[in-house]
């Protein structure tokens, strides 16, 4: 999954459009300097046909897919010279940090086995108050 975390206006040929910023799942990385591990996530920018109001409304929404590292021609920024960039892919990649929800749902199902149906709250599976 990726999350829309922001947007920014862009201009090309005198026309203004908006690009949204997508942030991927959390992953571990290792510092080249100290060797210590830290948490990070990759970001990518995707152009849209939306106006600014729609872009604002999309912040916080999650989309299926992942952010992939892809090779490209070398380019230089204030952080150094790079031969890769990050790009959105609609295909989901395996995540280092997995959601606890499936595990919690399994535990709940095991706990509720044998509970009479009448005692269950039909909205969320919890036992009704006695």
Under 8 Å between Cβ of 63 and 74: no
Mean pLDDT score, 44-70 = 95
pLDDT tier for residue 98 given thresholds of 50, 70 and 90: very low
Better-scored residue on pLDDT, 96 or 90: 90
Which tokens in the block code for residue 105? 């749902």
Residue 90 region by backbone torsions, left for phi larger than 0, else alpha for psi between -120 and 50, else beta: alpha
Instruction: Specify which residues 19 forms β-bridges with.
Output: 8, 47
Instruction: Specify which residues 6 forms β-bridges with.
Output: 21
pTM comes to 0.64
């Amino acid at each position: 999954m990726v999350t829309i975390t922001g947007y920014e206006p862009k201009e090309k040929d005198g026309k203004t459009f908006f690009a949204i910023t997508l942030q991927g799942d959390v992953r571990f990385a290792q510092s080249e300097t100290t060797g210590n591990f830290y948490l990070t996530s990759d970001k990518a920018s995707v152009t849209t046909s939306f106006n600014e109001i729609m872009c604002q409304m999309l912040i916080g929404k999650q989309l299926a897919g992942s952010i992939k590292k892809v090779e490209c021609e070398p380019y230089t920024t204030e952080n150094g010279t790079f031969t890769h960039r990050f790009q959105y892919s609609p295909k989901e990649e395996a995540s280092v940090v997995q959601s606890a929800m499936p595990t919690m749902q399994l535990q709940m199902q095991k706990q509720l086995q044998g509970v009479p149906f009448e005692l269950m709250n039909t909205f969320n599976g919890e036992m009704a108050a006695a």
